[in-house]
Every structure is written in C-alpha cells, then in structure tokens.
Amino acid sequence: MNFDFSDDQKFLRDEARKFLEAQCTMAHVREVLDDDSKSHNEGVWQKIIDMGWLGAAIPEEYGGLGLGMLELCVIAEELGRTLAPVPFGSSAYFFAEALKLAGSEEQKQALLPKIADGSLIGCIAVSEGPGDIATGTIATRLKDGTLSGRKIPVTDGDIATHAIVLAKDGSGASLVIVDLNQSGVTRKPIKTLEPTRSHAAISFDGASAQLLGEAGNGMPLLDQINDRAAVLIAFEQLGGASRCLEMATAYAKERQAFGRAIGGYQAIKHKLADMYVKNEVARSNAYYGAWALSSNAAELPEAAAAARVAASEAFWFASKENIQTHGGMGFTWEVDCHLFYRRAKLLAVQAGSPAVWKEKLVSALEAKND
C-alpha cells in the first residue's frame, strides 16, 4: 500500500507552499479584486512562469519539466490554498492536457513549449450560456476551417492567446484550436461573482480554426479532457478548503466570547469537526483521482467524478462555515473569508457543476456493475 505522495513530491509541495506564501499573499489577490481593469496578477503570474510549473506535466521533449501528473496535482493544491489570481488552470489543466491527449505531433511541437514558457495562455470555450451542452444544442459552427458563434462564459477568455473551442461540425461536434489574436475574434470581459479570476464572452466571425483530434469526436474528447482537469481542479478546491479550516480554527482559538475562546464551545467545535471530515473525504477521493490520472487507469471517469463531487462539497462547506465561525466579521469586505467563498463557487462549476459530475459518477458505476 502506497497511497500517498512520495517524499520528493512532498518536498515539491513544501517548496511551492513557501514560495506562494511569500509571493502570492492575500494582498496580491486583492490587487485583482479591487481593480476591475486587472484580469490577473501579472507579477505573480510571471513568478509562477519562472518557476516552470506550467510545464510540470509537459514532457521535456516539448519544453516542459517532465515531472508528471502527481507533481501537477501537488502544485494545484498549493495554488488553491493561496487563491492564486492567475490563468494557470486554463493553460495547464485544460489546454495543455487537451493537446497531450489529442494534439498532432505538429500541434504539440508548436504549442506545448509556449505553454511551458508562458508565452501562450490557453483556455477552453465550451459553454454558450445557461444549460447543458449537447451535440444537438451547440450553436457555434465550424465550416471549411472557419468558426462562427459565441461562447460565454470563458474563464480567462480575455487574456488567453489561444482557445480550444467546441463547435458543431456537420452532424457531429468537434474541438478546434483557435488563435484568439485574429480579426475574426472579438472578446468582451464579463463580471462574475469571482472577480479575482477573469471571464469573457468570445464571438467568432469566420475565425480560422484547426481541428484538435478527429472531426466529429468532440464530445468524447471533451469528456476525457474534463476528467483530467476535474482531478486537478479538485486539488485546487482541496487546497482552498484546507485553508478555510485553518483560518476558522485559528480564529476560534483567538476570538473570546463570554470569557473564553469561542473554540471551546461545541457549536464551533462541531463546525470545525464537520469541515475536517468533509476535507478528509475530499482529500482521499482526490488522491484516488490523482492515482487514476497518473497511471492512466480505466477507473479515471469515476475517480475524477468522485474527486470533483467531494471537493466541490468540501470547499463550499468549508468556505461557508469559515464565514460563520468568523461571525459578523466573516461577511465584511475586509476579512478574507469571502474570497474563499467566491472561489469555491467558481471552481464548483468549472468543467461541469456537481450535479453533472454526480450523474457522470452514477452512470459510470452503473456501467461497471451491470
């Protein structure tokens, strides 16, 4: 039994934590929160690029560090802890993983090194507004290598240089790679309840696009990409949830009421214990997802779904209970609780809502136990 990260991976985690605690503080996060013109924190982003983390799971032959998926999971947890206000996930979890999965040799050679060195920021554009996406309902069209339609919301869509876009392609759906700095693309930043991460609406009007993977294979490929990204997002959520529990615990020890620390009251103790249980359930499910991801296991679909469901629940719960433990201060702008609550809400709907992942999970279990 070896169901934990290795000493080397734990060393990477400790180093990443030290680095981010110094370089990505809540003050850095608030620079983006308090300034509508900022899509991300450029200083923090440059330092993360310099660390080489974007290439952690990109093979050395494509300009990456060639570490592996477990190392990327470790980094994701640390980025989640600090609410890093940067487009890391869009580039590393979605765009890079999609290329690794389905890119042609030429595409990989052209794009992966640029992701690793930060000169390319990738994103994924699937949603077209409220509702589930299915082949029959996609309005964005691919015809003769050009793309028309509108995607909203696209996480990091305003700062990305490239996007992977889901489009209707004849009778099926395909994924395509689009350079966003071309005349057929217009972007409009949109405000969400999580201002420390940027979002945009992107309109395509005859933009040139190249296929990612086989034509007509868009939906199954998207599922595969989402399974991989889901595990990594689960680690970000886990990091955020752990930090919420630490904040709540520290405050419960410090804040006095009726002559004693509020942590001495069962009303608070039980909140902390419930947060802890959900966090550990999330951690164990995330580790299982990491194992499935790193070993290309056949169990990846249910492992990713379980990791995602557990982590979404844990982060949401921990972020809301953290607010309550902080009492009235918990819902002020000044105290950091709301930053975690916002991030929990955002991450819970990336790559599909918990309801979507629960259905994926039960479908996978059903298929397996037929």
Which stretches of the chain bind other proteins, using CB under 8 A? 1-5, 70, 273-274, 276-277, 280-285, 287-288, 290-291, 294-295, 305-306, 309-310, 313, 355, 357-359, 361-362, 365-366, 369
Name residue, tokens 């819902």.
331
Residue type, 306: A
Environment class of 183 (CB within 10 Å of its CB; exposed 0-12, middle 13-18, buried 19+): exposed
Paired strand residues for 108: none
**Closer to other proteins by Cβ: residue 77 or 336:** 77
- The DSSP annotation for 136-194 comes to GG---EEETTEEEEEEEEEETTTT-SEEEEEEEETTEEEEEEEESSSTTEEEEEE--S-
CB 366 within 8 A of CB 53: no
Which residues have CB under 8 Å from 369's CB, separation 6+? none
Peptide bond connecting 189 to the previous residue in cis, omega within 30 degrees of 0? no
**Closer to other proteins by Cβ: residue 218 or 354:** 354
Question: What is the b/e burial string over 129-140, where b = at least 16 CB atoms within 10 angstroms of the residue's CB?
Answer: eeeebeeeebeb
Nearest Cα neighbor of 206 from 190, 189, 182 is 182
Task: Tell me the closest approach of the beta carbon of residue 309 to other proteins, in angstroms.
Answer: 5
Task: Tell me the closest approach of the beta carbon of residue 318 to other proteins, in angstroms.
Answer: 14
Task: Tell me the closest approach of the beta carbon of residue 296 to other proteins, in angstroms.
Answer: 13
Task: Tell me the closest approach of the beta carbon of residue 138 to other proteins, in angstroms.
Answer: 24
**Closer to other proteins by Cβ: residue 39 or 279:** 279
- β 199-212/185-190 pair status: antiparallel
185 token code pair? 């693309």
**Closer to other proteins by Cβ: residue 176 or 311:** 311
Task: Tell me the closest approach of the beta carbon of residue 344 to other proteins, in angstroms.
Answer: 17
**Closer to other proteins by Cβ: residue 201 or 306:** 306
Which residues have CB under 8 Å from 30's CB, separation 6+? 339
**Closer to other proteins by Cβ: residue 45 or 235:** 235
**Closer to other proteins by Cβ: residue 198 or 279:** 279
**Closer to other proteins by Cβ: residue 3 or 105:** 3
**Closer to other proteins by Cβ: residue 171 or 369:** 369
Environment class of 148 (CB within 10 Å of its CB; exposed 0-12, middle 13-18, buried 19+): middle
Task: Tell me the closest approach of the beta carbon of residue 144 to other proteins, in angstroms.
Answer: 41
Q: Which run of H or E residues covers position 261?
A: strand 260-261
Task: Tell me the closest approach of the beta carbon of residue 74 to other proteins, in angstroms.
Answer: 12
Task: Tell me the closest approach of the beta carbon of residue 356 to other proteins, in angstroms.
Answer: 11
Task: Tell me the closest approach of the beta carbon of residue 190 to other proteins, in angstroms.
Answer: 30
